[in-house]
């Protein structure tokens, strides 16, 4: 029995071994990025001229990039509790389990069986005397026992259908893992920007409260002068208008701060303690002022969202191979080897062995275009994945280009806005002094106060833009993966 079984196994496995390398999937070639080979450089863009390679932002851990310890702790809180990140992690586990299931189809499932059968049958002897004759027989008891191991309907993957399905599942798993990493990078950037926005709005509130007090003093002075006939009713009403405007700005700022805090706590997935909240944006950014030196477009290909899109493209490429293999015969094998005996004690005795081999094959003849439609669908899905991958590269290129464009002029904007605030505050001080001395009109003094207030508000916005630009540049260049 052993030699026969071995011969049968070899006859069945030899074609599989010879054709094991047959793969119907097209050869994967990474699409050429449909973007310029280098990120923008020149006037108005950082850097204005090519620079030597410096520290790579993608290799800077977020703990090193963000300098404020409070912000670091808030980011840690978000990484531990954010629900989107937890969902992404669960998706990874699902994809990994699906890959393991698909990969298991490449190997035969071996199972062990054991059974005992007891049958009672009635037997009657044929005689002329009928049932009462002496030749009549009674019931017969039949019993037998079996034990064995075998495999059932194992597909011999001659044309790579199962292997390509497994590869597609693997690439989907890898894409999901990159999606989790992309979610992590995005979350870090969003938490940082929300934290900075909260800080800037608290600066806006402080500016509005200081301006409110100044307008309140002007209003009290104008009312007193109106009572003695020095100031007109028009001037008093204009002072009242500025006072109420500042009062409204305070209420709006308080509402905005509350909403900023709500947004931050949604991102972190937990309440943010007051000790970790920013008091003020300040004059210095709570991040490193590091800039990239290597401005090749290829740095974008390391971004996890682009890697995710590429893995999905490779998965669709493998699906084409599985769809092509469906046009060819599908061969499966059911086999078992074991022992059988009429008594349980002799089940494993010499001479009780048994085996069975049941190969089967199916060839598609008339499927009314089903396989062709599945192949067309797989090719269209691959083409869609190519377009998605190319668009992801173009989107990443624009994100980095926009961040570099803003970085090229933001320092100039900040310097100009700082100088404007200083000049506006000095003008307001001089105008107020001239008004109190009776040299300047109240309308001129009021106008300079408004100008100084608006300049301070814009300066806070410019500081926020600079800090957010650094965070955006760090994120778009793939930073945030390293702790």
Give pLDDT tens digits for 435-457.
888 888 888 888 999 999 999 99
- Confidence grade of residue 126 (pLDDT, cut at 50, 70, 90): very low
Higher-pLDDT residue of 168 and 44 is 168
Q: By the 8 A CB rule, do 428 and 448 touch? A: yes
Minimum mean pLDDT range among 201-205, 308-312, 436-440: 436-440
Report the mean per-residue pLDDT for the chain. 83
How would you classify residue 153: left for phi > 0, otherwise alpha for psi between -120 and 50, otherwise beta? left
Q: What's the CATH number for 18-108+159-328+373-476?
A: 1.20.1600.10
Share of the chain above pLDDT 70, in %: 85
Q: What are the structural domain ranges in the chain?
A: 18-108+159-328+373-476
The single-letter DSSP state of residue 289 is: -
Q: What is the pLDDT of residue 353?
A: 74
Q: Which of 7-21, 112-126, 167-181, 457-471 has the lowest mean pLDDT?
A: 7-21
The pLDDT score that the predictor gives to residue 138 is 62
Task: Please compute the mean of the pLDDT values over residues 221-244 and round it to a whole number.
Answer: 87
Q: What is the pLDDT of residue 127?
A: 47
Confidence of residue 142 (pLDDT cuts 50, 70, 90): confident
Q: Looking at per-residue confidence, does 223 or 11 come out higher? A: 223
d(CA 460, CA 296): 33
Looking at the DSSP bridge assignments, the partners of residue 42 are 45
CA 223 to each of CA 101, 215, 439: distance values in angstroms, whole numbers, following the listed order:
82, 12, 19
**pLDDT (0 to 100) of residue 481:** 80
Report d(CA 79, CA 70) in Å as an integer.
14
Residue with more model confidence, 113 or 476 = 476
Please give the structure tokens belonging to residue 479.
């930073």
pLDDT in tens, 8-25: 444 444 444 444 557 788
Between 181 and 46, name the one with better pLDDT.
181
50-59, 279-288, 371-380 — most confident range: 371-380
Structure confidence at residue 132 (pLDDT) = 46
Nearest to 112 by CA among 339, 346, 351, 353: 339
Note whether 146 and 7 are within 8 A (CB): no
Min mean pLDDT across 168-182, 289-303, 373-387, 436-450 is at 289-303
Phi, psi of 90 (to 5 degrees): -65, -35
Confidence class for position 384, pLDDT limits 50, 70, 90: very high
- 20 vs 302, which has greater pLDDT? 302
- Residue whose structure tokens are 């870090």: 188
Give the residue-averaged pLDDT of 31-40: 80
- Segment 412-422 mean pLDDT: 95
Query: Sorting pLDDT into bands at 50, 70 and 90, what band is 161?
Result: confident
pLDDT band with cut points at 50, 70 and 90 for residue 208: very high
So what's the pLDDT on residue 6? Answer: 44
Contacts 24+ apart (CB under 8 A), 65-71: 65/287, 65/288, 65/290, 65/474, 65/479, 66/192, 66/286, 66/287, 66/288, 67/286, 67/287, 67/288, 68/278, 68/286, 70/275, 70/276, 70/277, 70/278, 71/192, 71/195, 71/278, 71/286
Q: What is the pLDDT at residue 54?
A: 57
290 vs 241, residue with greater confidence: 241
Confidence of residue 229 (pLDDT cuts 50, 70, 90): confident
Burial class (CB in 10 A: 0-12, 13-18, 19+), 96: middle
Residue 270: both structure tokens together: 């937990």
CB 303 within 8 A of CB 481: no
């Amino acid at each position: 029995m052993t030699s026969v079984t071995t011969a049968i196994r070899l006859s069945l496995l030899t074609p599989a071994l010879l054709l094991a390398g047959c793969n119907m999937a097209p050869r994967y070639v990474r699409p050429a990025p449909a973007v310029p080979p280098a990120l923008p450089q020149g006037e108005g863009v950082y850097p204005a001229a090519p620079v030597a390679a410096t520290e790579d932002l993608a290799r800077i851990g977020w703990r090193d990039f963000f300098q404020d310890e409070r912000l670091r702790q808030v980011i840690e809180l978000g990484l531990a509790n954010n629900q989107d990140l937890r969902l992404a992690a669960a998706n990874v586990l699902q994809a990994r389990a699906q890959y393991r299931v698909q990969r298991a189809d490449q190997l035969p499932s071996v199972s062990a069986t054991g059974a005992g059968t007891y049958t009672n049958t009635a037997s009657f002897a044929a005689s002329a005397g009928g049932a009462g004759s002496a030749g009549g027989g009674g019931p017969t008891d039949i019993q037998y026992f079996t034990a064995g191991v075998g495999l059932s309907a194992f597909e011999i993957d001659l044309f790579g259908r199962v292997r390509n399905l497994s590869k597609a599942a693997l690439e989907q798993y890898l894409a999901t893992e990159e999606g989790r990493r992309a979610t992590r990078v995005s979350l870090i950037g969003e938490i940082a920007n929300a934290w900075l926005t909260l800080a800037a709005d608290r600066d806006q509130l402080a500016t509005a409260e200081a301006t409110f007090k100044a307008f309140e003093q002007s209003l009290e002075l104008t009312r007193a002068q109106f009572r003695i006939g020095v100031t007109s009713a028009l001037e008093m009403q204009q002072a009242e208008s500025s006072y109420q405007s500042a009062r409204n700005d305070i209420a709006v700022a308080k509402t905005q701060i509350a909403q900023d805090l709500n947004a931050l706590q949604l991102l972190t997935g937990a309440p943010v303690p007051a000790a970790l909240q920013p008091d003020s944006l300040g004059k210095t950014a709570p991040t490193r002022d590091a800039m990239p030196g290597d401005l090749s477009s290829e740095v974008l290909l390391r971004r996890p969202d682009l890697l995710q899109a590429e893995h999905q493209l490779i998965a669709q490429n493998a699906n084409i191979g599985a769809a092509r293999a469906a046009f060819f015969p599908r061969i499966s094998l059911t086999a078992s080897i074991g022992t059988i005996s009429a008594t349980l004690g002799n089940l494993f005795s010499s001479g009780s062995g048994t085996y069975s081999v049941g190969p089967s094959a199916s060839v598609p003849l008339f499927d009314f275009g089903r396989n062709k439609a599945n192949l067309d669908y797989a090719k269209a899905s691959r083409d869609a994945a190519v377009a998605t991958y190319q668009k992801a590269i173009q989107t990443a290129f624009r994100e980095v280009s926009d961040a570099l464009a803003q970085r090229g002029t933001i320092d100039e904007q900040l310097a100009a806005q700082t100088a404007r605030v200083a000049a506006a505050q000095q003008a307001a001080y001089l105008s107020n002094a001239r008004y109190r001395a009776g040299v300047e009109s109240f309308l001129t003094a009021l106008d300079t106060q408004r100008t100084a207030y608006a300049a301070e508000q814009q300066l806070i916005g410019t500081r926020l833009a600079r800090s957010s630009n650094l965070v955006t540049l760090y994120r778009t260049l793939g930073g945030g993966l390293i702790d």
